[in-house]
């Protein structure tokens, strides 16, 4: 399975989320290419709020950082995001990264490839907060139109992977295998979830009825989505 991974931090061997992601990659990649990006190193900028992307995404002032990551995401079959819980939410650099894809949200210009793609979101916390952290990522996956999203969260009761209890590590390994098997078994003939489909039809109605942004309406028209065409 062709995979693109966006790591929420630059920690590697000491990081629980990184080590869990490595276990998933081992189970899922099956020798296919894995593209990896680390935040904030590979996208160190905050959205400047210029709105350029809503009419032309190549005009984003941070386009040179975004292009290789966007290309890799568009080519992948599976997207993996990792995010340790920082004060109940994703680390700031993950939010800054997601902000740059506002133009790809369904009310605007969703990328067609996303509707045939799946995502795996991985979060760890010392003790609490993975639900709200995963929600930060799940919102973007749904509004990007990602067909299926899987989540994996663990409360590791530790600051570093080295100090995670050995029994918990073994449980994590088993749970990674279980979810990997599910992801593999669902690799064929999947369509977007009901939520994603419903959102698409609601946004189609909105484009036809309200014409908020002419660039968005034009984009939907070009893809035939205001008629009978669907992105999946
Ligand atoms: C700035 C910061 C904020 C954190 N906030 C929380 C929190 O709200 N809840 C929690 O349970 N753990 C919190 N933690 C602990 C981490 O989420 C936890 O140790 C996680 O497993 C670290 O992931 P990593 O090993 O991949 O870096 C925080 C850690 C840091 C550095």
Domain limits for position 99: 3-191
97, pLDDT greater than 90:
yes
Mutate to test the pocket of ligand 1, among 86, 122, 160 (most ligand atoms within 8 A of CB): 86
Q: What is the mean pLDDT of residues 27-50?
A: 97
For 1, 119, 193, 224, 225, the CA distances from 232, given in Å and listed in that order, are: 19, 16, 11, 12, 11
Q: Give a yes or no: residue 136 inside a domain.
A: yes
Work out which ligand 1 atom sits closest to the CA atom of 88: 8
Q: Give a yes or no: residue 212 inside a domain.
A: no
Nearest CA owner, ligand 1 atom 24: 15
Q: What is the mean pLDDT of residues 85-112?
A: 98
CA–centroid distance, residue 43 to ligand 1 (Å): 21
Residue 150 has what pLDDT?
Answer: 98
CA–centroid distance, residue 88 to ligand 1 (Å): 8
211, pLDDT greater than 90:
no
CA–centroid distance, residue 105 to ligand 1 (Å): 28
Q: Give a yes or no: residue 199 inside a domain.
A: no
Work out which ligand 1 atom sits closest to the CA atom of 161: 25
Work out which ligand 1 atom sits closest to the CA atom of 159: 19
The tens digit of pLDDT for each residue in 196-205 reads 999 999 999 9
Helix, coil or strand: residue 17 = helix
Q: Minimal CA–CA distance to 70: which of 115, 6, 10, 24?
A: 6
The whole-angstrom separation of Cα 117 and Cα 204 is: 20
3-state helix, strand, coil in the chain (%, to 5): 50, 15, 40
pLDDT confidence bin for 189, thresholds 50/70/90: confident
Residue 205 has what pLDDT?
Answer: 97
> What's the number of domains the chain is made of?
1
Mean pLDDT over the full length of the chain: 97
DSSP string over 162-212? GGS-HHHHHHHHHHHHHHHHHHHHT-SS----HHHHHHHHHHHHHHHHH--
Q: What does the block give as tokens for 187?
A: 């690799």
Q: pTM score, two decimals? A: 0.98
For 74, 105, 170, 182, 226, the CA distances from 79, given in Å and listed in that order, are: 9, 16, 25, 16, 28
Residue 231 CB neighbour total at 10 angstroms: 19
CA–centroid distance, residue 206 to ligand 1 (Å): 39
The tens digit of pLDDT for each residue in 131-142 reads 999 999 999 999
Residue 113: CATH number of its domain: 3.40.50.360
Q: Give a yes or no: residue 203 inside a domain.
A: no
Q: What is the mean pLDDT of residues 60-68?
A: 98
The tens digit of pLDDT for each residue in 11-31 reads 999 999 999 999 999 999 999
Q: Give a yes or no: residue 232 inside a domain.
A: no
- Binding pocket residue ranges, ligand 1, CB within 6 Å: 9, 11, 15-18, 84-88, 124-129, 156, 159, 161
CA–centroid distance, residue 30 to ligand 1 (Å): 31
Nearest CA owner, ligand 1 atom 4: 86
208, pLDDT greater than 90:
yes
The whole-angstrom separation of Cα 187 and Cα 120 is: 13
Q: Give a yes or no: residue 173 inside a domain.
A: yes
Residue 64 has what pLDDT?
Answer: 98
Q: Give a yes or no: residue 130 inside a domain.
A: yes
212, pLDDT greater than 90:
no
Nearest CA owner, ligand 1 atom 31: 86
Q: Give a yes or no: residue 39 inside a domain.
A: yes
Work out which ligand 1 atom sits closest to the CA atom of 124: 21
């Amino acid at each position: 399975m062709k995979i693109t991974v966006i790591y929420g931090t630059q920690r590697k061997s000491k990081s629980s989320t990184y080590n869990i992601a490595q276990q998933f990659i081992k189970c899922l990649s099956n020798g296919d290419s894995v593209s990896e990006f680390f935040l904030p190193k590979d996208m160190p900028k905050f959205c400047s709020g210029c709105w350029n992307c809503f009419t032309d995404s190549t005009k984003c002032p941070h386009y040179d950082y975004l292009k290789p990551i966007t290309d890799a995401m568009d080519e992948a079959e599976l997207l993996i995001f990792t995010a340790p819980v920082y004060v109940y939410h994703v680390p700031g650099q993950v939010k800054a990264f997601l902000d740059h894809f506002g133009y790809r949200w369904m009310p605007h210009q969703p990328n067609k490839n996303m509707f045939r793609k799946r995502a795996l979101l991985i979060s760890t916390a010392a003790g609490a907060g993975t639900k709200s952290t995963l929600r930060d990522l799940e919102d973007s996956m749904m509004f990007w139109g990602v067909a299926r999203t899987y989540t994996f969260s663990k409360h590791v009761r530790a600051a570093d992977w080295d100090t995670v209890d050995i029994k918990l590590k073994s449980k994590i390994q088993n749970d990674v295998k279980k979810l990997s098997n599910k992801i593999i078994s669902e690799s064929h003939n999947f369509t977007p979830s009901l939520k994603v489909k419903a959102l698409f039809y609601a946004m189609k109605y909105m484009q036809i009825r309200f014409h908020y942004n002419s660039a968005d309406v034009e984009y939907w028209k070009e893809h035939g989505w205001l008629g009978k065409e669907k992105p999946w």
